[in-house]
Amino acid sequence: MQKLLLLGDEAIAQAGIDAGISGIYAYPGTPSTEITEYVISSKEAKEKGITATWCANEKTAAEAALGMSYAGKRAMTCMKHVGLNVAADPFVNSALTGANGGLIFVVADDPSMHSSQNEQDSRFFGKFAMIPVLEPSSQQEAYDMVHFGYELSEKYKVPVMLRITTRLAHSRAGVVRKTQREQNRFKLPEDLRQFVLLPGIARKKYQVHLKLQEDFQKESANSPFNQYFEGKDHSMGIIACGLAYNYLMENYPDRNIPYPVVKLSQYPAPLDMVEKLYMQCETILVLEEGFPMVEEMLKGLLNKGKQVRGRLDGSIPMAGELNPNIVSKALGFEQDPITPVPSLVTPRPPSLCKGCPHIDSFVGLNEAIESFGKGRVFSDIGCYTLSALPPYESINSCVDMGASITMAKGAADAGMKPSVAVIGDSTFTHSGITGLLDAVNAKSNITVIILDNATTAMTGGQPSSALNRIEDICKGVGVEEDHIRVIKPLRKNHEENTRILLEELNYDGVSVVIPRRECIQTLNKRMRAKFKSANTNLKNSKQ
Amino acid sequence: MKKDIILAGVGGQGILSIAAIIGYAAVESGLFLKQAEVHGMSQRGGDVQSHLRLSSDEIASDLIPQGKADMIISVEPMESLRYLPYLGPQGWLVTSIKPFVNIPNYPEMEQIMQQVEAQPNHIALDAETMAGELGSVKAANMVVLGAASPFLDLDYEKLEKAIHFVFGRKGEDLVQLNLNALKAGRDYAEKHMN
Ligand SMILES: Cc1ncc(C[n+]2csc(CCOP(=O)(O)OP(=O)(O)O)c2C)c(N)n1
Ligand code: SF4
């Protein structure tokens, strides 16, 4: 079989193509973005007619995937961990409707917050919805689990979660492909009320779902991804979840671990295996990426059993991702002295690119708002969030996508004036429009600045879903036309832009200012592509 | 054979191309490989690093343990020092000495060079000027790779082949530029190794 060198994300995408998906739906978010990107640019996927699209947000993406599953075909939806908060409603409820065609939610967590607001652990969401969760320890396992996950999903007609973390998502390794499966044919659910969660029906479906838990337990016990390794030294037993298994192995170069080990990669946690380890060993060490989920389950509320070690007792730090050194310490190995980072090395935080349109917008806003004082600008998530740092220090919040507009409304209701929201074009369509409608309905006194750089820049320049339609949307929502102002954020327009911003800050009611200029990075990319195709045309015409 | 390499630099300096070329050469040599990259937030002018692991045996962790790296390859001098905790006692530090100054409190170059030179095994070279003389400063990353190549335990021809593969689509001129850059770095290292 063909072996490819793939990122964890790419392995999942290739596996989706090979396992016969008919569609993949997502909103970008690090570290999940490359999954959908891979399918979108895959020739093979195109030939197979696989639908691969960016959606307005994670909720719309998850629902489209569920709809495809309704129609009998295999679907995948991908998101970062906080994206699952947005898609939580379809996620949790799809556990009850169940699937028709196989359905996988791929959720990429970001412990250590490399590019995120928090480090929530999506396994809890899987437990909450009571569906099987697969957590790969390697790129190969990630690939294999997609195939396995669709079989599991179609066998029990439930959605399955594939949980990965940053290190797996963005690390490359060799992956061997499996035989390809055909896509499913269009096929309606046998029971046409399967997806109708009216209380009377939902109650019955819930009973069925509760019964399925026994099956999921059996599946976990027999899973090829969960294994029990015997060991002679019973002073300690180790449970290594997902990627943590690699860090454990790294500490035993000869791969001989003296202690019994449970390699745990499919949830619900297999009771028999865990119990055997617990009975056999004097203490238990739990290695898991994310929150201490398994550790907490083992300890129970009262913690009156054996000593269980992990994040909760400080054997492993509570925050941040694991690495081989943290695991080595927890295993009790002596630590070699480490050369420290020389004190002269200074942090180098990311910053807005040279020539970025956001720079001109914030320089203008800073000047326009100066007379009112600091602390009145709610913001959102995107490249522009970097304006919280020097030299701009323009914004005062970054919470969750869309929150700038709604928080500005709340603060305006509390009497703050002016109350400003700064939001990117992609974030606006992700979840800003509904908030703007709230503000219009309440005649709130807010100014919304929609930074239109014509792309979703933060995550690498995916298309913006309301390209060239931002004003129409604002109008449609009910913002007065006179108070929808488009400006071009360029240094030479600084004075005029500042004046327009100031006028709208002073307006009583909902006003929208749209600074519009393309992101420098996507502009350069486009120009290079144009130049290249012009060159090839030239060459071709010469032949 | 086992080589654990930290690649360091600033977003946009081309460390992922270095990784791609070593990766291609390693796969051609029948080695196992794992390479952890940094995407997202850290690419906008922030510090970036990649853990690259090559081995004749299967590799467990995607991350290199501290104190175990065989080499730090850096395209920026201060960044080369950021990862010293990873470098093993016998490890090599190979770095370009051209600072990338995009922060107001960038330290004194003299102090940085003192730290670089305090490493028992190091190669420090002005990759940018060398690449500029060859035609484009953009090939500085390949000069640095060339300077690291004697310590990689990979056939030099395999690295050349990888350059053909990675840059081939962008035209023969670019391939040649990068091959020349690789060679210039290699020659420099061979002269300054001891
Ligand atoms: C719920 C959720 N989904 C996805 C992300 C990842 N994310 C952060 S910013 C961003 C895109 C922002 O695009 P835009 O608002 O247009 O701003 P730009 O980066 O282009 O300035 C994305 C996808 C997130 N943080 N939260
Ligand atoms: S990627 Fe685009 S939007 Fe983001 S900082 Fe750079 S120029 Fe600005």
CATH number of A158's domain:
3.40.50.970
* Residue from the list B27, B45, B112 with its beta carbon closest to the beta carbon of A344: B112
Tell me how far apart the alpha carbons of residues A373 and B84 are, in angstroms, rounded to a whole number: 44
Number of neighbouring beta carbons within 10 Å of residue B14: 18
Record: contact B84-A342, CB cut-off 8 A: yes
pLDDT score, position A3: 87
Record: contact B40-A349, CB cut-off 8 A: no
Taking CA–CA distances from B41, the nearest residue in chain A reads A115
What value of ipTM does the predicted structure carry?
A: 0.94
pLDDT score, position A540: 63
From the candidates A114, A344, A353, A359, which should be mutated to test the interface with B, based on the most B CB atoms within 10 A?
A344
Per-residue pLDDT for chain A (543 aa), expressed as one digit of tens each? Answer: 788 999 999 999 999 999 999 999 999 999 999 999 999 999 999 999 999 999 999 999 999 999 999 999 999 999 999 999 999 999 999 999 999 999 999 999 999 999 999 999 999 999 999 999 999 999 999 999 999 999 999 999 999 999 999 999 999 999 999 999 999 999 999 999 999 999 999 999 999 999 999 999 999 999 999 999 999 999 999 999 999 999 999 999 999 999 999 999 999 999 999 999 999 999 999 999 999 999 999 999 999 999 999 999 999 999 999 999 999 999 999 999 999 999 999 999 889 999 999 999 999 999 999 999 999 999 999 999 999 999 999 999 999 999 999 999 999 999 999 999 999 999 999 999 999 999 999 999 999 999 999 999 999 999 999 999 999 999 999 999 999 999 999 999 999 999 999 999 999 999 999 999 999 999 999 998 888 777 766 666 655
From the candidates A348, A383, A389, which should be mutated to test the interface with B, based on the most B CB atoms within 10 A?
A348
| Domain, as residue range, for A43 | 3-178+190-206
A398 belongs to a structural domain: yes
Selected residues 364-403 of chain A with any CB under 8 Å from a CB in chain B: 383, 386
pTM: 0.96
Q: Where are the beta strands (DSSP E) in A268-312?
A: 283-287, 307-309
A323 belongs to a structural domain: no
Residues A51 and A139 in one domain: yes
Length of chain A, in residues = 543
| CA angle centred on A262, ends A258 and A266, rounded to 5° | 160
Residues A74 and A168 in one domain: yes
B117 CA → ligand 1 middle, Å: 43
Taking CA–CA distances from A459, the nearest residue in chain B reads B40
Nearest ligand, measured from the Cα of A432: 1
* Residue from the list B40, B81, B84 with its beta carbon closest to the beta carbon of A114: B40
Sequence-distant (6+) residues with CB within 8 A of A496 are A487
Start-to-end CA span in chain B (Å): 23
A31 near B CB under 8 A? yes
Residues A286 and A426 in one domain: no
A445 near B CB under 8 A? no
Nearest CA to ligand 2 atom 2: A519
Task: Give whole-number Cα distances, A96 to A79, A107, A153, A219, in Å.
Answer: 21, 19, 13, 19
Selected residues 7-66 of chain B with any CB under 8 Å from a CB in chain A: 10-11, 23, 27, 32-47, 51, 59-66
Helix axes A357-369, A494-505, angle to 10 degrees: 50
A402 belongs to a structural domain: yes
Instruction: Answer yes or no: are the C-beta atoms of A39 and A50 closer than 8 Å.
Output: yes
pLDDT score, position B12: 83
Size of interface A-B (CB pairs under 8 A): 136
Taking CA–CA distances from A113, the nearest residue in chain B reads B41
User: Which residue in A299, A314, A167, A306 sits closest to A245, CA to CA?
Assistant: A167
3-state helix, strand, coil in chain A (%, to 5): 45, 15, 40
Number of neighbouring beta carbons within 10 Å of residue B51: 24
pLDDT score, position A541: 63
Number of neighbouring beta carbons within 10 Å of residue A294: 24
Record: contact B44-A352, CB cut-off 8 A: yes
Average pLDDT value for residue range B157-162: 97
pLDDT score, position B45: 85
Select the CATH number that applies to the domain covering B2-192 from these four: 3.90.220.20, 2.40.50.60, 3.40.920.10, 1.10.3720.10: 3.40.920.10
User: Which residue in A288, A279, A278 sits closest to A312, CA to CA?
Assistant: A288
From the candidates B61, B108, B115, B138, which should be mutated to test the interface with A, based on the most A CB atoms within 10 A?
B61
Residues A508 and A373 in one domain: yes
Atom number in ligand 2 closest to CA A522: 2
A468 belongs to a structural domain: yes
> Which of A33, A115, A351, A353 is the best mutation target for the ligand 2 pocket, counting ligand atoms within 8 Å of the beta carbon and taking the most?
A353
Atom number in ligand 1 closest to CA A451: 21
In the predicted structure, residue B40 carries a pLDDT above the cut 60? no
Residue showing tokens 């999954």: A35
Residue showing tokens 């490249």: A383
In the predicted structure, residue B41 carries a pLDDT above the cut 60? no
Residues A516 and A379 in one domain: yes
Minimal C-alpha gap between A185 and chain B (Å): 37
Task: Give whole-number Cα distances, A521 to A281, A354, A357, A383, B148, in Å.
Answer: 56, 10, 11, 12, 31
B114 near A CB under 8 A? no
Residues A200 and A254 in one domain: no
pLDDT digits (tens, 9 = 90+) for A458-477: 999 999 999 999 999 999 99
- Would you list the domain boundaries of chain B? 2-192
Average pLDDT value for residue range B61-68: 97
Taking CB atoms within 8 Å and a gap of at least 24, the contacts of A469-477 are: A470/A425, A470/A428, A470/A514, A471/A514, A473/A428, A473/A429, A473/A433, A474/A436, A474/A450, A474/A512, A477/A433, A477/A436, A477/A437, A477/A440
Residues A24 and A55 in one domain: yes
In chain A, the number of structural domains is 3
Tell me how far apart the alpha carbons of residues A87 and A99 are, in angstroms, rounded to a whole number: 16
Residues A196 and A242 in one domain: no
Record: contact B41-A350, CB cut-off 8 A: yes
